[in-house]
Structure 1
Amino acid sequence: MHEQVLRRVILLGTVAILGIVGMQTYWVATTWNLNDTEFSQKAQLALYGVARQLAAENNTSLPKRDIVRQRSSNYFIVNTESEIDAQRLEFLMQQELQRLNLDIDFEYAIFDCSTNEMAYGGYCFADSEPRPPAARAGNLPPDENLLYYFGVKFPTRIGYIWQKMQLVVFLSVILILTVAFFSYSLVVILRQRRLATMQKEFIDNMTHEFKTPLSTIRIAATVLARDERVARDARLSRYARLIHEQYERLNGQVEKVLQIASIEKGDFNIKRERIDLQEILPPLLSSARARTEERDGHLTWQLPERPLPLYADPLHLANILHNLLDNAVKYGGPSPRIAVIGRVAHDHLHLAVSDNGPGIAPEHQDRLFEKFYRVPTGDVHDVKGFGLGLYYVAQICRAHRWDIRVESKPGRGTTLHLRLPLSTSPEAVPA
């Protein structure tokens, strides 16, 4: 993941999370206020209903205003201007609360004129389940401006409102878990990126360090092969040739790693020029045929008998064709049967490289062009490689805006399809 992409992901993710948290906080606060307002209104309606019934039973009239006064969020005083019976008050309170669907505990007290204090009435539970007697839950202060009144307190108001907000609380918990998961994922991504950067730098530095000894090995192998005494000795000559072949193999892997590193750093340049594929492909096919015949295999090709002009980087084009043919030889089985078929349609060259190997399962085909990915073969590793060849091919095709895809079925071989736009003029650049 590139640095700019990672920064954008972090920035957009943080902004999104902050926005969601802000909206959730606003939603919780708004829902709380609505439920609190609804509770206060229902409580006042219930208390007003109790006061009205008490006044009717005592054949008195209620004050014209300020019948129910809210002294705090959960404490109300009701002015009746008539005497109050405690048992009757408790019954009417329970009746009115049930009528308004207020299933909440309450405690009440009645003002005693003789002592100028609130006479505690009792604590009433919302349900009818038997419970031990409750102690006084809190202070119910009097009102100095009234004479006949009672006070009602709802000690479980906060719990009642939270119970009404169960869905909001549940969604808030999910949001908190989501934010925690995002934060943890972000930490893991940053840690993995740091480790990947360290690994990449190590591989790049190690690959560069290989260049000097490889050059020395190449020079030594060349000098050794040209020595007359070595040329006369078949065994020494074979050793010299083996050293040079292994140098070529290792140097090819090093060059591939360096090219991929250049692509990933962004300083990779494609030097396009007008070339004819008919001049590049035959030598590659001849080399692949020789390697195929060494394994008792067979390679055939069928190309249009006409020039195939392309606007491409000749070096990288030759490299990707070599990689496709090399993969067909290596993974074509004990006796590979390889076919290279090209056809022209709609100003494009469709090139297919097929083999008769074991094929690739569908679940592995989407990852075939990933870096370092190799199709699992269990404990058998009869084909050597690092999983860089097809990744390099995919990167070069992407840089040229070419299409490449894989077609394979287990037990029926593999075909890699390459679609290349033909050049119509020396300056034409494919779109």
Structure 2
Amino acid sequence: MLNFKKGYIVVFTISVLGLAFIQYQYLKIGLNLAKVQFNSKVGQAVQTIKQDLETNNELTFLVAQAITKNDAYFKLSVDSIQDASRYFLNDFLVDRLLQNGIKSDFSYRLYTNDSLLYLTSPNYIASQEEQLNFPIVLSGYLPKELNKRLILELQFEDLNKYFFSQLNGLTIPSLIFIIAIILVVFWVLRSFYWQRNVITTTNQFINNLTHELKTPVFSIGLATKLLEEKSDDSLKPFVSIIREQNDKLKVQIEKVLDLAGLEHGKSVIKFQLINFKSNLLALAQSFLKLSELEGVKFDFNFSDEDYFILCEPNHLENAVSNLLENAKKYSKNSPEILLNTFISHNFLHIEVKDNGVGIPEKELKNVFKKFHRVGSGDLHTVKGYGLGLSYVKEIVRLHNGKISLESKMNEGTTVTIKLPIKLKGYE
């Protein structure tokens, strides 16, 4: 169980890390695409800005007066003209960038080849790290007025933040889904291991209880044997009842212990290659004698070939015997039971048919569950603990076999065990 638990944790951890890695790769691809798209939009905006600044218009005229420090046309100081130019040029650039779908914060500077700086944006900060620069070599009116090569450089700040904001529709839902998956899987595993602990504790309690019951059952059996030897004829029927009920209790205790041992791998089953036909024949003959005493019509039909299988005879006999007892318990007033065995497609088929009360269709999927009891029809009148079919299924599983059940209400039930046939002498 501990190894399975570690395996679940390892698989879950690898899956989450793998999912995170895939999301990271998708994020890188998304960022690259965002950068390509951003550069394309800036390229389009640059062309528009360059064209608009080529001609002599109100904006270029104001900028020209600011960079040449000419106040002849305005009743303002040179500093005021330059401040106005900064803001008007900034608003112009914001408008042209928005027209091309660019909402990122930016700054600009207007300078010449000799690094002479003329104008900067109101939010300009020199030597900004991790910024993306787009220089625009101006042509037309402004360079002619200055008689120099004039460059307008756009500087975009915090581009990674901008790109991530463009991918919020991908990154944020991905993170939310990953966190949700982790929480759900953690809750499921926690619930699963809690239930396993409850089941383990319950099984331990049942096993301890059944072991404690074996001592008084043995003592009752011994006392019953002594009473039977010394009692007169008038008391023997009562002693017989005590012995019969004590034997039933002993069988139920052994069934619980066997099933618990098989489920936890504590019982060592030694398989051997035998002709199981003789075992089935002895079991059928013994059940026939009991059936005659109880007024049950029982018949068996075996095919001619040998039934060589790899099995543990005692457990397998108990499984078949359990099916026969169930057929008798859940029968009508005139019970008819048939044990039919044959070989088909390299499998030994063991069929137990009865004309009993049947099982409701909705209960068929649960009949092999441990402690399950069918509670409809007349089945609740039969005493038991819901261990028989669970034990049979576990025995068949350990023999690499299959078990199936078909039933119709008020018509009867057929239980079929299929066990792989081995060639004689093959180990």
CA distance in 2, matches of 1:160, 1:423: 69
1:288-333 CA-partner distances (Å, limit 9, x unpaired): 4544x2xxx5333333467656553332232111100111122234
CA distance in 1, matches of 2:316, 2:39: 80
1:160-181 CA-partner distances (Å, limit 9, x unpaired): 7434441343233222211211
Q: 1:32 to 1:364 in 2, by over 3 A?
A: same
Q: 1:97 to 1:42 in 2, by over 3 A?
A: farther
1:91-133 CA-partner distances (Å, limit 9, x unpaired): 454244323x33x37577888xxxx99674xxxxxxxxxxxxx
- The aligned residue for residue 325 of structure 2 is 326
Select which of 209, 213, 219 maps to 1:210.
Answer: 213
Q: Aligned residues: percent identity?
A: 27
1:94 aligned to 2:78?
Answer: no
1:418 aligned to 2:421?
Answer: no
- The aligned residue for residue 314 of structure 1 is 313
CA distance in 1, matches of 2:395, 2:297: 28
CA distance in 2, matches of 1:141, 1:422: 87
Q: 1:175 to 1:358 in 2, by over 3 A?
A: farther
Q: What one-letter code is carried by the residue in structure 2 that aligns with 1:313?
A: E
Give SS of 2:386's match: coil
CA distance in 1, matches of 2:377, 2:168: 55
CA distance in 1, matches of 2:300, 2:288: 8
Structure 2: 5+ residue stretches without partners: 61-83, 111-117, 129-148
Cα shift at 1:211: 1.4
1:141 aligned to 2:125?
Answer: yes
- The aligned residue for residue 298 of structure 2 is 299
Q: What one-letter code is carried by the residue in structure 1 that aligns with 2:95?
A: Q
1:174 aligned to 2:158?
Answer: no
Q: 1:37 to 1:160 in 2, by over 3 A?
A: closer
CA distance in 1, matches of 2:174, 2:322: 54
Contact 1:140 1:151 in 2 (8 A): no
Q: 1:91 to 1:334 in 2, by over 3 A?
A: farther
- The aligned residue for residue 55 of structure 2 is 57
- The aligned residue for residue 224 of structure 1 is 227
Q: Quick check: which one's helix share is greater?
A: 2
Higher alpha-carbon deviation: 189-198 or 342-351: 342-351
In the superposition, the TM-score normalised over structure 1's length comes to: 0.72
User: How large is the Cα RMSD of the aligned pairs?
Assistant: 3.9
- The aligned residue for residue 286 of structure 2 is 283
Q: What one-letter code is carried by the residue in structure 1 that aligns with 2:359?
A: I
CA distance in 1, matches of 2:5, 2:109: 68
Contact 2:274 2:309 in 1 (8 A): yes
Contact 1:270 1:399 in 2 (8 A): no
1:247-297 CA-partner distances (Å, limit 9, x unpaired): 111111111111122212324213535341323321123324544x2xxx5
Aligned residues: 373
Structure 1: 5+ residue stretches without partners: 61-82, 121-138
1:64-85 CA-partner distances (Å, limit 9, x unpaired): xxxxxxxxxxxxxxxxxxx958
Q: 1:313 to 1:106 in 2, by over 3 A?
A: closer
Cα shift at 1:56: 0.6
CA distance in 2, matches of 1:19, 1:155: 29
- The aligned residue for residue 193 of structure 1 is 196
1:222-256 CA-partner distances (Å, limit 9, x unpaired): 111221xx3332xx323211211111111111111
In our comparison, the structure showing a higher alpha carbon Rg is 2
CA distance in 1, matches of 2:291, 2:88: 105
Contact 1:278 1:308 in 2 (8 A): no
In the superposition, the TM-score normalised over structure 2's length comes to: 0.73
